[in-house]
């Protein structure tokens, strides 16, 4: 990574404009009219990529220094796929309140906040608090980036297998950040029969060991079905399995799913169900890996989502904007849709612009756009 100027700095005149005395005029203008910040600085195109290093990839709690390469990589992807300037911000604290206060204090220097690799359930509390206190987009990619791409891929998978969201049975294995977000976006897309399973079984209101986030999700997901039990109980006859747990799901359970099942085993590096096993019992199979077809890759979502939000000068990222991003991704597959092609390639040059346009339009529909 590097920072580069967008204007020349080749002589004394350039220096006098870029720094003293010329910069003082810009400072005073912005002080007099804060709206000019978006015109004269990089703020409206810059996102802070913030972590505390508590849940980095599959490595766990490796701290802010160990997390830095991932944050740098994220910033590189922001630039390459969305034209957005990402700045890694690794915080040497895992105290929820300290993280919230720190991000609030640095927010004036950024056009958006991308939260990354923060463990659950703190990630939910941090995101919710920042959304309430800031008037710029706040987005936890581990949650919503995954959810958007899952919804896009599932949209095409359901079309291939002649299913509808409203009548499809879904099981989400894993109730961490990604699992909760996937369940929520699938509910918003119209899924009515969805069971979310953690290490102790199906999330259900009768369980007394649920944190507030899981308890709220249990109410939402069991309102119509009332499903309880273990993974085996809800996987039997299910149409769709979304694995975001990191655990292994045995073939004997997968074999009980409905005909022409859909299996998304998204754990890295080892999917919950390896593709060779999944294909024996499912029609459409996706993973989080680049060496298998149908990679559920967050890079398909977050650069375009932030590009669209920044272009619209959105004050927030709404559910409508996430749904629009998923719809745009799904539509790009078009006539190429097949069992091994339910999501675009990350290097498809149409992806970023298509998602950005859809998100900006949704921001205007949802009343959060300021441009």
Q: Quickly list DSSP for 90-139.
A: E-S---HHHHHHHHHHHGGG-SEEEE-S--TTHHHHHHHHHHHH-SS-EE
> Based on the structure, what is the number of domains in the chain?
2
Pair (173, 126) in one structural domain: no
DSSP SS3 for 213: helix
| pLDDT recorded at residue 60 | 87
Report yes or no on 15 lying in a domain: no
Identify the burial level of 218 via C-beta atoms within 10 angstroms of its C-beta, where 0-12 means exposed, 13-18 middle and 19 or more buried: buried
pLDDT by residue (tens digit) across 288-318?
A: 988 999 999 999 999 999 999 999 999 999 9
Pair (368, 245) in one structural domain: yes
| CA 143 and chain centroid, separation | 5
Q: Judge whether 249 and 285 are in contact, CB under 8 Å.
A: no
pLDDT by residue (tens digit) across 241-250?
A: 999 987 899 9
DSSP letter assigned to residue 258: P
| pLDDT recorded at residue 81 | 96
| pLDDT recorded at residue 7 | 87
DSSP SS3 for 188: helix
Give 169's strand partners: 193
Give this prediction's pTM: 0.93
Pair (205, 69) in one structural domain: no
Q: Residue 253: which CATH number?
A: 3.40.50.720
Length of the chain: 371
Please give the annotated binding residues for (S)-malate, written as ranges.
268, 297
Pair (334, 273) in one structural domain: yes
Q: How far apart are the first and last CA of the chain?
A: 30
Pair (170, 263) in one structural domain: yes
Domain final residue pick, 76, 110, 136: 136
Domain final residue pick, 93, 113, 136: 136
Domain final residue pick, 120, 136, 152: 136
Report yes or no on 247 lying in a domain: yes
Pair (125, 160) in one structural domain: no
Please give the annotated binding residues for a divalent metal cation, written as ranges.
116-117, 142
pLDDT < 70 positions in the chain: none
Q: Which residues are catalytic?
A: 19, 74
Q: Residue 74: which CATH number?
A: 3.40.50.10380
Pair (229, 281) in one structural domain: yes
- For residue 333, give Cα distances in angstroms to 79, 157, 178, 258, 296: 24, 11, 24, 25, 14
Please give the annotated binding residues, written as ranges.
116-117, 142, 268, 297
| pLDDT recorded at residue 137 | 97
| pLDDT recorded at residue 247 | 83
pLDDT by residue (tens digit) across 342-355?
A: 999 999 999 999 99
Pair (235, 272) in one structural domain: yes
Report yes or no on 29 lying in a domain: no
Domain that holds residue 84: 42-136
d(C-alpha 240, C-alpha 245), whole Å: 15
Report yes or no on 319 lying in a domain: yes
At residue 370, φ and ψ (nearest 5 deg) are: -120, 15
Q: Which of 143, 141, 170, 144 is nearest to 157 (CA)?
A: 170
| pLDDT recorded at residue 225 | 85
| pLDDT recorded at residue 2 | 87
Pair (346, 316) in one structural domain: yes
Report yes or no on 334 lying in a domain: yes
H/E stretch holding 352 reads: helix 351-365
Pair (275, 222) in one structural domain: yes
Report yes or no on 289 lying in a domain: yes
Report yes or no on 5 lying in a domain: no
| pLDDT recorded at residue 223 | 77
Q: Quickly list DSSP for 12-81.
A: HHHHHHHSTTHHHHHHHHHHH-GGGHHHHSSGGGEEEEEE-SSSBTTTB--HHHHHHHHHHHHHHHHHHH
Pair (88, 171) in one structural domain: no
Report yes or no on 28 lying in a domain: no
Pair (187, 153) in one structural domain: yes
């Amino acid at each position: 990574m590097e920072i580069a100027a967008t204007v020349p700095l080749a002589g004394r005149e350039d220096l006098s404009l870029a720094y003293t005395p010329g910069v003082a005029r810009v400072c005073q203008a912005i002080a007099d009219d804060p709206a000019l910040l978006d015109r004269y600085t990089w703020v409206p195109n810059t996102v802070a990529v913030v972590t505390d290093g508590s849940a980095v990839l599959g490595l766990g709690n490796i701290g802010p220094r160990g997390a830095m390469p991932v944050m740098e990589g994220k910033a590189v992807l922001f630039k390459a796929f969305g034209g957005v300037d990402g700045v890694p911000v690794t915080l040497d604290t895992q105290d929820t309140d300290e993280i919230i206060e720190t991000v609030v204090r640095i927010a004036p220097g950024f056009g958006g906040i991308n939260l990354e690799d923060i463990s659950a359930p703190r990630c939910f509390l941090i995101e919710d608090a920042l959304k309430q206190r800031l008037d710029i987009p706040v987005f936890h990619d581990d949650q919503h980036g995954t959810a958007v791409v899952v919804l896009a891929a599932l949209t095409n998978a359901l079309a291939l297998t002649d299913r509808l969201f409203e009548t499809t049975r879904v099981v989400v294995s894993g109730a961490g950040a990604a699992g909760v977000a996937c369940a929520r976006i699938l509910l918003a897309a119209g899924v009515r029969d969805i069971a979310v399973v953690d290490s102790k079984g199906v999330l259900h209101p009768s369980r007394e060991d649920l944190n507030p986030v899981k308890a709220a999700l249990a109410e939402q997901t069991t309102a119509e079905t009332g499903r309880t039990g273990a993974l085996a109980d809800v996987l039997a006859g299910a149409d769709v399995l979304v694995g975001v747990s990191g655990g292994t799901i045995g073939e004997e359970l997968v074999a009980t799913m409905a005909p022409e099942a859909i299996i998304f085993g998204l754990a890295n590096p080892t999917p919950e169900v390896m593709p060779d096993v999944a294909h024996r019992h499912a029609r459409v199979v996706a993973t989080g890996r680049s060496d298998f077809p149908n990679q559920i890759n967050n890079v398909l979502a977050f650069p375009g989502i932030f590009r669209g939000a920044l272009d619209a000068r959105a004050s927030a990222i709404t559910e409508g904007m996430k749904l629009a991003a998923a719809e745009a991704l799904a539509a790009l597959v078009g006539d190429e849709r097949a069992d091994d092609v339910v999501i675009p390639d990350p290097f498809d040059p149409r992806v970023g612009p298509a998602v950005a346009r859809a998100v900006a339009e949704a921001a205007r529909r949802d009343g959060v756009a300021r441009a």
